[in-house]
Amino acid sequence: MRHRLSASGRRLGTLAGLFGLGVLLWALTPHFLTVSNLLNVLEQTSINAVIAAGMTFVIISAGIDLSVGSLVAVAGVVLASTLHAGMPITIALAASLAVGFAFGLLNGLAITWGRLPPFIATLGMMSIARGCALLFTEGRPVSGFDPAFRSIATARLLGIPAPVFVTIAVYLMAHFVLAETRFGRYVYSMGGNEEATRLSGVNVRLHKTLVYGVSGLASAVAAVLLTARLNSAQPIAGIMYELDAIAATVIGGTSLMGGEGGLGGTIIGALIMGVLRNGLNLLGVSSFVQQIVIGLVIVFAVLIDTVLKARKG
């Protein structure tokens, strides 16, 4: 009970932060609070938000996934090549998601059966998957798709960009899994106390491996959005995306120590980053200063977490 309350309290705080940021930008520039700009921010946030949804599973389980950016590249080039081979969109999507899931499971296996720390296993995969993407494409981008595929990024329903609906669907599904299924409960309990979870009869290896599969799957969904958006899949796509995804998750209140957090916080965290970047562009703030501001927001968010933990303990 206490756990639930504190999580929702944390989320309210993050939401208040997003709201405060919005009010501030509204006061500073007339271009922020327009329907068209808000939709623009939602569209831009979708890719990071989707990756961060998978990252949330991983971080709640007390792990980390540094390979997500490279998995975006691999899943993207597989998607693009399958499309270029003349396959139907559904097959290409399935191939891409399967590749993302499989690479994610490999991460999981290296961590559970290989007993590697998640940091090392996924750091290795970051390089392996990047190499695979480069090898597969000989370093060249695979670009130019027909409008039916591109509509995943370009279509609008009731004026709302399609990627926003994809993101909502991903979050609804992920939230259901995390909050309503046994697997979801195991993710929390593994992160809270892995040993106790194992002793209570849970197959920790299996479920932990699946957690990384989920993250790989999320990266593949992001790859679909990215490829449709740029009309191109680059083997060098997604470099450093892991940092944005980790940042969104952590700003959203998921603890790097594992065991607590949730998707509601992560989506708000991703929006805070999206709004911040958008606002800094609208204001014409120098790119150098932007990096400082974003870095400070991340550090402050984690600082709060640490301070809270210390008080509680």
Partner 1 sequence: MRALHRSILYPAVATLVALAGGCNRAAGTGTTGRPRVALVMKTLNNPFFIDMQRGAEKAAKDLDVDLVVQAADRETDVERQMQIVENLIQAHVGALALTPSGSREVVPVVGKANAAKIPVVIVDTRLDQKAATDAGVKTASFVGSDNYRGGQIIGEYLVKVANGRAKVAILEGIPGHETGDSRVRGFKDAIKGSPGVTIVASQPANWERDQGFQNILQAHADIDTVFACNDIMALGAIEAISAAGKAGQIRVLGFDAIDDARRAITDGKMTATVAQYPDEMGRAAIEAAVKAMKGEAVPADIGVRIGLITKENAARDSDKK
| Contacts with partner 1, residue ranges (CB under 8 A) | 6, 9-10, 13, 16-17, 20-21, 24-25, 28-31, 34, 36-37, 40, 43-44, 47, 141, 143-144, 154, 226, 229-232, 234, 236-237, 239-240, 276-293, 296-297, 300-301, 304, 307-308, 311
Cβ proximity to partner 1, 208 vs 229, nearer residue: 229
Q: How far is the CB of 207 from partner 1 (least distance, A)?
A: 31
**CB of 29 or CB of 193, closer to partner 1:** 29
Residue type at 37 in one-letter notation = N
Between 22 and 184, CB nearer to partner 1: 22
**CA–CA distances in Å: residue 97 to residues 75, 94, 115, 178, 180:** 7, 5, 26, 20, 23
Minimal distance in Å, beta carbon 66 to partner 1?
16
> Which CB, 58 or 228, lies closer to partner 1?
228
Query: Would you say 206 or 299 has its CB closer to partner 1?
Result: 299
CA angle centred on 76, ends 128 and 37, rounded to 5°: 125
Our CA angle for 100, 221, 277, nearest 5°, is: 120
Alpha-carbon dihedral sign for residues 184, 185, 186, 188: positive
Q: Answer whether 24's CB lies under 8 Å from 32's CB.
A: no
Pairing label, strands 156-157, 232-233: unpaired
Residue closer to partner 1, measured from CB, 1 or 201: 1
3-class state of residue 298 by DSSP: helix
Least distance in Å: CB of 13 to partner 1?
4
Work out how close the CB of 10 gets to partner 1 at its nearest, in angstroms, rounded to a whole number.
7
Q: Which is nearer to partner 1, 105 or 244 (CB)?
A: 244
Helix (H, G, I), strand (E, B) or coil at 233: strand
Output the six-digit token pair for 289.
Answer: 């200063």
Rounded CA-CA distance 129/121 in Å is: 12
Neighbours of 190 (CB within 10 A): 24
d(CA 98, CA 81): 14
DSSP tally for the chain: helices H, then strands E: 13, 4
Least spacing, CB of residue 167 vs partner 1, in Å: 15
Question: In the bound complex, what is the minimum distance in angstroms from residue 281's beta carbon to partner 1?
Answer: 4
Are 222 and 51 within 8 A, CB to CB?
Answer: yes
Closest distance between partner 1 and the C-beta of residue 104, in Å? 21
